[in-house]
Amino acid sequence: YETQIMHPSGQMMHLGVISVPICVDGEATGTHIIVRDITQQKKTQEKVEHLAYHDELTSLPNRRQFNLRVEKFIQKARGAKRMAVMVLDIDRFKMINDSLGHAYGDAFLQKVGQRISEVIDPEKVTLSRMGGDEFALIYHSFTSDQEVARLAQRIVSVIQVPYTLKENDFYATRHKYIFRAIEKLAQE
Residues annotated catalytic, as ranges: 133
- Cα dihedral 77, 49, 3, 28, rounded to 10, equals 110
Neighbours of 81 (CB within 10 A): 12
Using an 8 Å Cβ cutoff, are 16 and 35 in contact?
yes
Nearest-angstrom CA–CA distance, 134 and 63: 10
Closest CA to 97 of 166, 8, 156: 166
Per the rule left: phi > 0, alpha: psi between -120 and 50, beta: everything else, 70 is alpha
**Chain length of the chain:** 188
Using an 8 Å Cβ cutoff, are 1 and 17 in contact?
yes
Instruction: Establish how many alpha carbons lie within 13 A of residue 141's alpha carbon, considering only the half-sphere containing its beta carbon.
Output: 8
Cα angle for residues 145, 149, 150 (degrees, 5° grid): 115
